[in-house]
Structure 1
Amino acid sequence: MHLPVAPRANSRIRYGASGMKSRVLSPGEALAWLGRTLDGGADIGVVGITGPGDPFAAPELTLETLELVRGAHPDMPLCVTTNGLNVADHARALADLGLSHVTVEVHAVDPKVAENIYAWVRPGTRTIPLAQGVRELLNAQAGAITALRKAGLTVKVNTTIFKGINAAHVEEVAKVVSGLGADIMAVAPCCPFEGGEDAIPGSELMSTAMELAGRHMELMAAWEACGRDLVGTDIPESSCDLAFAQTGAPKPTAERPNIAVASSGGMDVDQHLGHAARLLVYGPREDGLPCLLGTRFAPEPGGGDARWKLLAERLSDCFALLVSSAGERPRKVLSDSGLSVLVTDCGVEGMVDALYGGGKRRKK
């Protein structure tokens, strides 16, 4: 099962998919979706983070997700697929999380070949000249494989074959990654978007490419046998239901009858907890119907756990806090105080009504 928590791309292949089409889940939503899929009877052998962007273009989200899954499902095998940028610095953290393997996508080891594969590469916050970008990418891939192996992790290399571009180069790729310590290699044909059909290799060319790569690396099964047993492909279009799945729909109590909401305009839950300067507070009127009671100011940024303990005090009459995103640490501090933090992108009115048992949950 793949968890789509990587929101940003840091490279683009000329013949690959034209854009990220999957909805991106927050780490909490991904955990809830995994739990719901398991509860539905799915037999999941491994959980991976593969996209829709690159997992290490926003490493904090990837690591948070892996930590959440490891905490909730200690025996679940975990893996990550990445192009290698910004990975080496996180090798130790990945090893500490006990990943079964890390896949690094290496389609070339010669910058001139790579320039014909990639449309752009963005190692940092901006796109740089392609020649410089691919050199940094190839160096990062080599560094990632070395660091991951040094940390004791199994490294799989994925190489996609583009007809007329890197088919004759695949043996050199296999030789180099083998020298770096990679454990196993998968060779697959490209699956281009419209207009890139000329890059699709035929079966004969693929057989030749695999034979060349196999001289230097142990190869995975032929590509036709891969990817047939994916589960959890029905990624939710809205996080409304997932927000409830995260906590099992918290209930109001006599001591905590109210709900706090991080919303910029009162229509949608659209603010990160750490960025919210004020919170809307909803509660029941005398007739029992929920309404906006007022606003509460959030503590000033900084102070670590003390900030979240102070927020817990200010929201001591609330049983739930709705946010668009929140870090694991503030969620834990607030949860320990008795306040359930729900991550959602839904409309405020629908979520508040649903939490008070007011009928069907409304989606945005």
Structure 2
Amino acid sequence: MAISYEELTTKHPCFARGEKNGSGRIHLPISPSCNIECRFCERSFNNYEIRPGVSRTVITPEEALDAIRRALEVCPDIHVAGIAGPGDTLASPYALETFKLIKEEYPELVKCMSTNGLLLAEKAQEILDVGIDSLTVTVNAVDPEIEAKLNDGIIWHGKHYTGVEAAKILIEQQLKGIKILSDAGMTLKVNTVFVPEINGDHIEEVARTVAEAGATIYNIIPLIPNHKLKDCREPDCVELERVILKASKYIDVFRHCQRCRADAVGIPGGKDYGEEIYQNLQRLTRKDTFSHG
């Protein structure tokens, strides 16, 4: 049985009440590939960018156990083992394989996973079986016309879908998966990338819809202008506060997201031990390691 939301507020930095709870996390860069084509996402291998989708390398499930061991030696305050990329966690089998190993070797750690949600409904039972405690789903729109401006397409069951057709499938699968897993007792957080020109007036509707589907907490992430949306602007603090207040009518809103890398290690806002933990595993450095399939 997944741990409760109340317990997560004391162990998981993304569920902390107030600015921080002193808990650390290790992000395990396990998942190399992705099955959707977000217009704002450019996955990269480097050691300097601070944003999702960036990692020094990709490791194997077995290497993840060694990374956890070494991370706990340098930062005993780590209570969470998370997988958030650099691709999507359900687009390849490695994340679920890793969580199965963590369940056996480090049962005391909170197991946290992030996904775009395209395969969430059909992988729901596997997610429950490996003992994941909290799940984050990125839902950027619940209107297909808006989603199509944020995501060029998806690969679903071996077929490439684009535009509004792809958006309809993605949204349907995201909400279906959130409902299944919330009904099973799992705590779900929803992330939304806030692009003022595209979904700025839509976030309140996203918050209402995901809350109705069973999400517990909501995280609005300001756009980092990048890739095909590099000419869009990052929202300012006033705009962000405005959409937070609107979303708060329906769901608890997380207010101190660090927009972490896929290989972040340590307490958010403090020293990052990622270089130390992953320095001997930096063998993948090419963007074409990622595939949409």
* TM bracket, shorter-chain basis: 0.7 to 0.9
C-alpha distance after superposition, 1:73-110 (max 9, x if no partner): 11110110001011122323323333221001011000
Corresponding residue to 2:35 among 10, 14, 18: 10
Segment of structure 1 superposing worse, 93-102 or 207-216:
93-102
Q: Secondary structure at the match of 2:192?
A: strand
Which position in structure 1 is the counterpart of 2:232?
198
1:82 aligns with 2:121: no
Gaps of 5+ in 1: 242-364
Alignment coverage as a number of residue pairs: 240
Q: Secondary structure at the match of 2:72?
A: helix
Q: What is the one-letter code of the residue matched to 2:31?
A: A
Deviating runs (4+, > 6 A) in structure 1? none
1:45 aligns with 2:79: yes
Which position in structure 2 is the counterpart of 1:228?
269
C-alpha distance after superposition, 1:216-245 (max 9, x if no partner): 11111243698425754226355499xxxx
How much has 1:21 moved relative to structure 2? 4.7
Which position in structure 2 is the counterpart of 1:172?
205
Q: Secondary structure at the match of 2:145?
A: helix
C-alpha distance after superposition, 1:144-194 (max 9, x if no partner): 101111221111111110021101100000111111111111112011226
Counterparts of 1:36-185 in structure 2, within 5 Å, are: 36-58=70-92, 60-185=93-218
Q: Summarize the Cα distance change of 1:21–1:183 in structure 2 as closer, same or farther, 3 Å threshold.
A: closer
Which position in structure 2 is the counterpart of 1:217?
251
Q: Distance in 1 between matches of 2:54 and 2:246?
A: 34
Q: Distance in 1 between matches of 2:259 and 2:178?
A: 25
Give the TM-score of the pair, scaled to structure 1.
0.61
Q: What is the one-letter code of the residue matched to 1:53?
A: G
Contact 1:5 1:25 survives alignment (8 Å): yes
Gaps of 5+ in 2: 1-25, 45-52, 261-267, 284-293
Contact 1:91 1:151 survives alignment (8 Å): no
- Superposition RMSD in Å: 2.3
Q: What is the one-letter code of the residue matched to 2:188?
A: V
Q: Secondary structure at the match of 1:223?
A: coil
Give the TM-score of the pair, scaled to structure 2.
0.75
Q: What is the one-letter code of the residue matched to 2:278?
A: P
How much has 1:37 moved relative to structure 2? 1.5
Indicate the structure (1 or 2) with the bigger Cα radius of gyration.
1
Q: How much identity, in percent, do the aligned residues show? A: 30
Contact 1:121 1:130 survives alignment (8 Å): no
Q: What is the one-letter code of the residue matched to 1:5?
A: I
Contact 2:30 2:83 survives alignment (8 Å): yes
